[in-house]
Structure 1
Amino acid sequence: MSSTTGITTPALAPLLPVTGAFAMPFSAYFVFLSCRVVYHRLKDRFYVGDNSSKNGDPNNKLYLASRCHQNFIENVPMALIIAAFAELNGGNQKTLSNALTALLTFRVLHVELGLINGLGLGRPIGYWGTMATTLWLGGYAAYLVKGYWGF
């Protein structure tokens, strides 16, 4: 006769279905941005650093691709962590799905219609949309545990 000890898988799964569902589109876009950097590195034969121009041109393709990749890394993990906090504390799945869809849309706008071309309308829309979505997620996560604060 066998028995299990400790926490079993059915007790744990699924804890984060919404955040987990968005792992694929966010990771796919991350890989796309990373491959774009690698493409420009190989094309320019510039394997270390982020600007392959001789004079530090801010419109250098490698530099712009690197900034797009770095900017994604700087913003998306915090928003996903906050979304996971909200989800673990009983956040509405549709509300969180809408917020993460907006976040992904703002990140794509920021890069593809903005930063990758230097300056474009997508850049401020993507930036402010990302900031608003992240702030909203933080507020929502705090609201979900308002009882902890005595409200």
Structure 2
Amino acid sequence: MTTKIGLGIPMPMLAPATATWAVPFAAYYLFLQNRIVYHRLSNRKYLGDSLGEDRSAKDPLYVSTRAQLNFSENIPLALILTLLAELNGADRKYIHYALATLLALRVSHSELGLMRPGSQAPGRAIGYYGTEAVMLTLGGYLGYLVKDYWQFA
């Protein structure tokens, strides 16, 4: 697989599986970000992350902000892990499986967990623990891929 850059110079695609999944992750991040903007504009709360005195599951701006922050705390590391794995010979099928699962888990965490009344719906725990499992698996897989580098003669 190649792509053309600049003046049509062929360049090999280095990490197409990771790049493919970066698109829906970016789209979902924009959705999360725009939900915050909606709450800010509709409530005229232009700074801060809470509409009320307390920060609670009843405050839509605070919950929306936490959903976006939880996403942005996890996804960059996951994309770095998959990029490094793919550049070090990972089976792209595994990258696709991992990132598809991770996207579903992050949506579950926010939409079926945090955004539900009380912010304690099952999607929150499923998304959290599932994300931890995917990250651990990606880290382990990356370690496996580069294990020969660490063998001393």
Whether TM-score is above 0.5 comes out as yes
- The structure where strand makes up a greater share of residues is 2
Aligned to 1:142: 143
Q: Distance in 1 between matches of 2:114 and 2:146?
A: 37
Match of residue 48 from structure 2: 49
2:5 alignment partner in structure 1 = none
**Normalization by structure 1: what TM-score?**
0.90
Q: 1:143 to 1:51 in 2, by over 3 A?
A: same
2:26 equivalent to 1:13: no
Partner of 1:92: 91
TM-score normalized by structure 2? 0.89
Residue 128 of structure 1 is matched in structure 2 by: 129
- Alignment partner, residue 112 of structure 2: 113
CA distance 1:9–1:131, change in 2 (3 Å): farther
Shift of 1:57: 3.5
Aligned to 1:65: 64
The alpha carbon displacement at 1:120 in A equals 0.6
Equivalents in 1 of 2:79, 2:53: separation in Å?
38
User: For the residues of structure 1 that align with 2:126 and 2:54, how far apart are their CA atoms?
Assistant: 30
Counting matched residue pairs gives 143
Deviation at 1:44, TM superposition (A): 0.9
- Give the counterpart letter for 1:88 in structure 2: L
- Equivalent residue letter for 2:63: L
Which amino acid letter does the alignment assign opposite residue 145 of structure 1?
Answer: V
Structure 1 residue 53: Cα displacement:
1.2
Judge conservation of contact 2:35–2:64 (CA < 8 Å) in 1.
yes
Deviations 1:45-83 (A, max 9, x none): 100000011344442000000000011000110011001
Aligned CA RMSD, in angstroms, stands at 1.5
Q: Once superposed, which parts of structure 1, at least 4 consecutive aligned residues long, lie more than 3 Å away?
A: 54-58
